[in-house]
């Protein structure tokens, strides 16, 4: 079953009509995860009609693979202009995206991004605007956005997802990937562990709001996740099988999101913990970590919340009373205090959000109460035990609480409550708000006991 769901198998499958009613097709044309993959860069460049490449990298990714990519292109007759971001850490914000456009030669005919999350997200936006073919040379199996058609960027200090272009080709050179810092390998696994939550919440959202759901896409995600978990201990030694499993799993996740047309299959409340921590860091300079590492911690908190949810029974009277008592102005002030200017984008989102529409709340509450056994069954089917995931993260030396990357663990309940206002996506914090039990679930967001 899992062999059907490798990136190569999904790409070769081509376009197909799915039982969900959609026609799925991977926009990604090729994914090569093998030793020496970077040496095939000129081959794919020429297949895509490229003769004059524009490449972006940061200082670290240029050292890891950028110089080799340049040499490969030039040795095979392809001109290349490279822009290397000068910052020690580049953020995917308006400045960085603008720099990518400003340094682009007017006559370039193909784009190359060397890196992982940030370089990929930036160049995908350039690719959408210019309609040029685009190749990614991955330097770490650290995030799941390689093959997606969206970019996670910072706009007015708010983390947002914007439409962009899926790469034509992804090259994952095992010789390069296995040399990535261990912390980046842990980030990739953390981003994959998040899929436990995202698939579960996607199914729950389908039950509660009637949103689109595809079992085939969910099956693809589950298969990739299982392969990563089965090989997770190999990340301690940097085994080829473990690195390959995580890298391909991350690419497969992007293909699955591309099939669905939304990020729903690959991100849920756990990702929004990470977004809030990132927004705080941008506003106040607070500590933060790699996105996938933060998602791993967010996954633990989500599992704790769902374990508590399993013990509860919906109470419509309690839910309606809590909804009626909600004070939007007080809540918005709380957002401003905690997030500063970054809160404004969330507050604007609130104005037209279905979360705060009384009629929509009543409809969601009806479904929650009437279909609660089905929701509990979904949770049981999709989610592993909290202790099992905690044990895995501890075995491989990954952070398990915000304090592990310098934040105050005591803020986690507040962060959880704020996750519901990032986007109109039905996640654990939205469900808890609808049932009037937000504080009850938030109280579960405590760090694990020390061993």
Q: Where in the chain is the domain with CATH 3.40.50.1970?
A: 2-180
Which stretches of 340-451 are assigned E, i.e. beta strand?
none
How large a percentage of the chain has pLDDT more than 90? 86
pLDDT of residue 451: 53
Average per-residue pLDDT in the chain? 94
Task: For residue 27, give the nearest of 147, 135, 134 by alpha carbon.
Answer: 147
Q: How many CB atoms lie within 10 A of CB 448?
A: 15
pLDDT of residue 265: 95
| Cα–Cα distance measured from residue 137 to residue 120, given in angstroms and rounded to the nearest whole number | 9
pLDDT of residue 145: 84
Greatest extent of the chain over all pairs of C-alpha atoms, in Å: 72
Cα–Cα distances in angstroms (integers) from residue 109 to residues 50, 84, 146, 153, in the given order: 5, 19, 21, 25
Bridge partner list, 171: 32, 137
pLDDT of residue 342: 86
pLDDT of residue 423: 87
User: Average of pLDDT values for 46-62?
Assistant: 97
Cα–Cα distances in angstroms (integers) from residue 381 to residues 190, 200, 388, in the given order: 20, 8, 15
Query: Which CATH number does the domain 2-180 belong to among 3.90.1150.10, 3.40.50.1970, 3.40.50.300, 3.40.50.20?
Result: 3.40.50.1970
Q: How confident is the model at residue 88 (pLDDT cuts 50, 70, 90)?
A: confident
Q: Could you say which architecture CATH assigns to the domain 185-212+262-442? A: Up-down Bundle (1.20)
pLDDT at 186 over 80: yes
User: Average of pLDDT values for 263-290?
Assistant: 94
Name the phi and psi angles at 231, rounded to 5.
-105, 10
Q: How confident is the model at residue 2 (pLDDT cuts 50, 70, 90)?
A: very low
pTM: 0.92
Query: Regarding predicted confidence, which is higher, 155 or 44?
Result: 44
pLDDT of residue 1: 41
pLDDT digits (tens, 9 = 90+) for 92-147: 899 999 999 999 999 999 999 999 889 999 999 999 999 999 999 999 999 888 99
Strand duo 134-138 + 169-173: pairing: parallel
User: Average of pLDDT values for 157-177?
Assistant: 90
Query: Regarding predicted confidence, which is higher, 451 or 198?
Result: 198
Lowest mean pLDDT among 58-62, 161-165, 270-274, 289-293: 161-165
Q: Where in the chain is the domain with CATH 1.20.1090?
A: 185-212+262-442
């Amino acid at each position: 079953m899992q062999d059907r769901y490798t990136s190569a198998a999904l790409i070769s499958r081509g376009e197909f009509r799915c039982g969900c009613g959609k026609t799925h097709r991977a926009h990604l044309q090729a994914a090569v995860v093998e030793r020496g993959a970077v040496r095939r860069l000129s081959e794919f460049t020429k297949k895509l009609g490229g003769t004059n490449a524009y490449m972006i990298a940061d200082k670290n990714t240029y050292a890891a693979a950028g110089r080799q990519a340049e040499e490969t292109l030039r040795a095979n007759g392809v001109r290349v202009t490279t822009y290397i971001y000068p910052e020690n850490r580049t953020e995917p914000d308006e400045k960085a995206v603008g720099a990518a456009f400003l340094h682009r030669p007017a006559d370039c005919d193909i784009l190359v991004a060397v890196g992982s999350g940030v370089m990929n997200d930036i160049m995908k936006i350039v690719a959408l605007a210019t309609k040029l073919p685009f190749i990614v040379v991955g330097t770490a199996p650290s995030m799941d956005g390689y093959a997606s058609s969206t970019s996670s960027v910072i706009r007015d200090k708010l983390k947002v997802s914007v439409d962009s272009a899926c790469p034509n080709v992804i090259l994952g050179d095992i010789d390069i990937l296995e040399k990535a810092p261990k912390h980046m390998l842990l980030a990739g696994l953390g981003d994959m562990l998040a899929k436990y939550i995202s698939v579960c919440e996607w199914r729950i959202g389908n039950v509660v709001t009637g949103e689109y759901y595809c079992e085939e896409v969910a099956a693809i995600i589950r298969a990739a996740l299982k392969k990563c978990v089965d090989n997770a201990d190999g990340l301690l030694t940097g085994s080829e099988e473990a690195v390959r499993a995580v890298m391909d799993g991350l690419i497969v996740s992007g293909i699955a999101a591309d099939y669905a047309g939304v990020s729903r299959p690959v991100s849920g409340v756990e990702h929004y913990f990470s977004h809030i921590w990132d927004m705080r860091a941008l506003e106040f300079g607070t500590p933060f970590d790699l996105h996938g590492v933060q998602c791993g911690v967010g996954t633990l908190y989500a599992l704790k919340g769902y374990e508590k949810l399993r013990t509860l029974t919906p109470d419509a009277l309690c839910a309606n009373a809590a909804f009626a008592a909600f004070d939007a102005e007080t809540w918005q002030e709380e957002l401003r205090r905690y997030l500063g200017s970054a809160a404004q984008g969330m507050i604007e989102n609130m104005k037209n959000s279905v979360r705060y529409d009384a009629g929509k709340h009543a409809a969601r509450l009806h479904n929650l109460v009437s279909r609660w056994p089905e929701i509990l069954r979904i949770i049981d089917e999709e989610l592993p035990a909290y202790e099992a995931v905690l044990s895995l993260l501890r075995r491989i030396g990954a952070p398990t609480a915000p304090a592990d990357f310098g934040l105050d663990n005591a803020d986690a309940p507040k962060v959880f409550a704020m996750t519901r206002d990032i986007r109109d996506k039905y996640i654990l914090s939205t469900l808890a708000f609808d049932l009037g039990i937000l504080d009850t679930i938030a109280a579960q967001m405590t760090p694990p006991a020390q061993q």
